[in-house]
Amino acid sequence: MFYYDPTYLLILPAVLLAIFAQIRIQKTYSKYSKIKALRGYTGAQLARYILDDRRMTNVKIEPISGRLSDHYNQRTKTLKLSQDIYDGNSVAALGIAAHEAGHAIQDANSYVPLKIRNTIVPVASLGSWMAFPLFFFGFISEIPQLMDLGILFFTLAVTFSLVTLPVEYNASHRAINILQNGRFLSDKEIPMAKKVLSAAALTYLATSAMAILNLLRLVLLRGRRG
Ligand SMILES: [Zn+2]
């Protein structure tokens, strides 16, 4: 009954958006990771330069395995750059390295959305873990309080994915400004880096859309059970 229910159709647009976003980031990244930047920095060198320029010498930069696995670890103050970004010098590599440096700068500047996101991380991950089992159990055993609790927990997960958006967009915005002002990329290369970063941002947007529509779906199912 849960599996053959028409509210599944509700999340279809988000599923399609997520697939589209995945294809687009893979294609865009493949394209611009083959275009070498005119200035010969590697991603790691660029990130080091950006951080040292802001006296952020305490932030470490380390390679990590995987493709597009790049991230900033706030706890250990480490930029983790995938091998192609770490020692690559493509337009895509420099764009992504600058984006990750952007996260480290957010951390150093106590950027508010990042702080909010960190505050809700523990409850949000518990929330996304517990929401569906709680709701599902409440649904089949017709206990509305459990369904409400499931919805509440899922709302935390939705909030987390929404707060992630400004954090990601802001890191990309900082990255483009740095690349432009520091002349790390030429005027011709800047739009290419922008394309890579906005393709990456679309994947976060798709995740949020999925979360919101799933929440809507739970609310509708809850309404049906009264
Ligand atoms: Zn990011």
Given a cut of 60, is residue 87 above it in pLDDT?
yes
Q: State the pLDDT at residue 121.
A: 87
- How far, in Å, is the centroid of ligand 1 from the Cα of 100? 6
- How far, in Å, is the centroid of ligand 1 from the Cα of 151? 28
Q: Is 100 a catalytic residue?
A: yes
- How far, in Å, is the centroid of ligand 1 from the Cα of 141? 41
Helix (H, G, I), strand (E, B) or coil at 79: strand
Q: State the pLDDT at residue 182.
A: 95
Opening angle at CA 60, ends 90 and 77, nearest 5: 115
Question: Please, are residues 114 and 167 in contact by the beta-carbon 8 Å criterion?
Answer: yes
Catalytic site residue from 62, 100, 142, 168: 100
Question: Please, are residues 17 and 206 in contact by the beta-carbon 8 Å criterion?
Answer: yes
- How far, in Å, is the centroid of ligand 1 from the Cα of 146? 35
Average pLDDT of the chain, as a whole number: 94
Given a cut of 70, is residue 196 above it in pLDDT?
yes
d(CA 47, CA 44): 5
**Hey, what amino acid is at 187?**
D
Helix (H, G, I), strand (E, B) or coil at 68: coil
pLDDT, tens digit, 9 for 90 and up, residues 2-44: 556 778 888 999 999 999 999 999 999 999 999 999 998 999 9
Q: How many CB atoms lie within 10 A of CB 141?
A: 9
Weakest mean pLDDT among 76-80, 88-92, 134-138, 188-192: 134-138
Q: State the pLDDT at residue 226.
A: 60
pLDDT confidence tier of residue 211, bands split at 50, 70 and 90: very high
CA-closest candidate to residue 208, choices 60, 2, 14: 14
- How far, in Å, is the centroid of ligand 1 from the Cα of 221? 34
In this prediction, residues 118-132 reach a mean pLDDT of 88
What residues sit around ligand 1, an ion, with C-beta below 5 angstroms? 168, 171
pLDDT, tens digit, 9 for 90 and up, residues 96-118: 999 999 999 999 999 999 999 98
pLDDT confidence tier of residue 50, bands split at 50, 70 and 90: very high
